[in-house]
Amino acid sequence: MLFSHLQKTAGFAPPASGLHVQDSFVSYADMAKRVEHLAAGFLSLNMERGARIAIFMPNGPDFFMVTYALASLGAIAVPVNEVSGNAELEWLAEQCDFAAIIAASEWLAPADKLARYGARDTTPIITLSHLENSKPSIEKLLDTPPEILPDLGPETVASYLLSSGSTGRPKLVPHTHGQLIACAEIASTSLNLTPDDMILNALPAHHAFGFLNGCFEVMSAGASTYYWADPGPLILSRKRFIDLLKRAKITVMPGVPYIYQTLSQLRQSVHLPDLRLVYSSGIALKRPIFDAFQQRFNLTLFQGYGCTETGMISLNGAQGRHSPWNSVGRASPGVEVEILDMEGHAQNQLGIGELFVRTPALIGGYVNATPQQNASFVKGGYLTGDLGRFDADGNIFITGRTKLIIEVAGDKVDPLEVEDILCLSPQVAEAVVVGVSDPRTGEQRLKAFIVQRDEITSEQLQAFCRSRMTGFKVPEIIEFIDKIPKSATGKVQRGKLI
């Protein structure tokens, strides 16, 4: 079904529409042909419907091709963060029982590690380019003659993404073909995309924002994507980034606040006449970044809102409608948003409550989840865990969180998970993790309060965590205290630590 969607786009998009990275270009028509060959190659390796395939690859045309080739067979693409810690890789291997792993050459080390955690005797690793070893490669599989592809319905699962969700702890988010197509159509309509648009994607493939935009949303409208492929830190390559915005005549740019903060630190003002829409999502946009970006580029930076479980929910600036700077706009076409009180009843127009979302892109629940983990899926909708309100014009404003999830640089961190890891150290008696605001940027940073059992330094404890979890979950600040504040019933009083 997703492959048919690609073929549809290949049929109406002009030859100049497609996927760019560095100096290479693939039109949608050529990409559809490559997908057919690669799908046949995957079939020769027994990748069939329901097979779960881990992918360690940067966002780009190759990742796009692999995702669609797997989807055309009914297999399930599972993008994996290349810096995932050992515990997360082991958990993923246990949950997914991967039939194969596909990896870019620079990320073979974590791929090999994931393969060792698998329950199978051998989990094949497929590289992009042919190497001087026994591993099969995408390059060789593309020589396979096409075969007849299976007829797949909208309920066929196409991908798993990792999310902390609104109830904490890692979860696998399954998206079906039908849900991904709905995600694409909602977003492309909100962004008002046409085949004349060129989108710059500098977002990772393992993150829902980068995955959905880079594989589905832009393609659905026949627009083009230019993938940012500079391996260096953005702060060192931002001039090249700006040059690409100009040279490629980028019209739409999605990003996270960090990207816009870094670009705004350029000393000179920049004129980008082709850029018609710039929007931020992942975490809340702070006023200093909004103001700095506007001053440097003379462009309004809008906010989008969405979840891994739902896709795009709303977008400020969608279809030319401008809302207050701190709003995430009105609900996208086909999406319903309600504000619920503590009893689950719809609030009046201006009341604050939890955002409840219904959308055709909504998943049905998490993979291998307990009823408690799926508790946010109720009445055909999803309780986001975000607090918010409407204004008189129907614009949505996010005001806080109902749960403990802390958003760090676009990633969601469950403090309970970090606390569990900290307490594995023999030197730690108790640990509490909170989010604190960076006084310079306003962004959230992780801070751990530690009651020691034996002597240990902050650096030693951070190293302990780094060996057991992904880097963005490691507390940036550690403070040693004598006692954790608790209520009479023993509940940790986190508010007293912030």
463 and 416 assigned to the same domain = yes
Buried b (16+ CB within 10 A) or exposed e, 12-27: ebeeebbbbbeeeebb
pLDDT at 453: 93
Q: For the domain that residue 45 is a member of, what is the CATH number?
A: 3.40.50.980
CB atoms within 10 A of CB 71: 26
394 and 424 assigned to the same domain = no
436 and 361 assigned to the same domain = no
Residue 195 placed within a domain: yes
pLDDT at 443: 81
312 and 429 assigned to the same domain = no
* Residue 297 amino acid letter: F
Q: For the domain that residue 293 is a member of, what is the CATH number?
A: 3.40.50.12780
* Residue 5 amino acid letter: H
Residue 174 placed within a domain: no
395 and 460 assigned to the same domain = no
395 and 418 assigned to the same domain = no
pLDDT at 169: 60
- The residue among 289, 380, 281 whose CA lies nearest residue 332 is 281
136 and 201 assigned to the same domain = no
- The residue among 226, 157, 230 whose CA lies nearest residue 197 is 226
Q: What is the DSSP string of 427-478?
A: TEEEEEEEEEE-TTT--EEEEEEEEESS---HHHHHHHHHTTS-GGGS-SEE
pLDDT at 241: 96
Q: How far apart are the first and last CA of the chain?
A: 49
147 and 208 assigned to the same domain = no
Q: For the domain that residue 488 is a member of, what is the CATH number?
A: 3.30.300.30
213 and 109 assigned to the same domain = no
Distances (CA, A) of 149 to 74, 177, 216, 488: 9, 15, 20, 63
Kindly give the confidence (pLDDT) of every residue in the chain, 498 residues in length, as a single tens digit, with 9 standing for 90 and above: 999 999 999 999 999 999 999 999 999 999 999 999 999 999 999 899 999 999 999 999 999 999 999 999 999 999 999 988 888 899 999 999 999 999 999 999 999 999 999 777 788 999 998 765 667 899 999 999 999 999 999 999 999 998 865 444 678 999 999 999 999 999 999 999 999 999 999 999 999 999 999 999 999 999 999 999 998 899 999 999 999 999 999 999 999 988 999 999 998 889 999 999 999 998 888 888 999 999 999 999 999 999 999 999 999 987 677 788 999 999 999 999 999 987 777 876 678 889 999 999 999 999 998 887 898 999 999 999 888 999 988 999 998 777 677 888 778 787 888 988 999 999 999 999 999 988 877 788 999 999 999 999 999 999 999 998 888 999 999 999 999 987 544 567 787 887
- The residue among 26, 106, 101 whose CA lies nearest residue 70 is 101
CB atoms within 10 A of CB 5: 19
Q: Say how many domains are in the chain.
A: 3
Q: Token pair for residue 7?
A: 């073929």
Q: What domain range is 446 assigned to?
A: 409-497
Domain boundary among 383, 401, 419: 401
Distances (CA, A) of 320 to 190, 327, 387: 9, 14, 26
439 and 489 assigned to the same domain = yes
pLDDT at 489: 43
Task: Confirm whether pTM is higher than 0.75.
Answer: yes
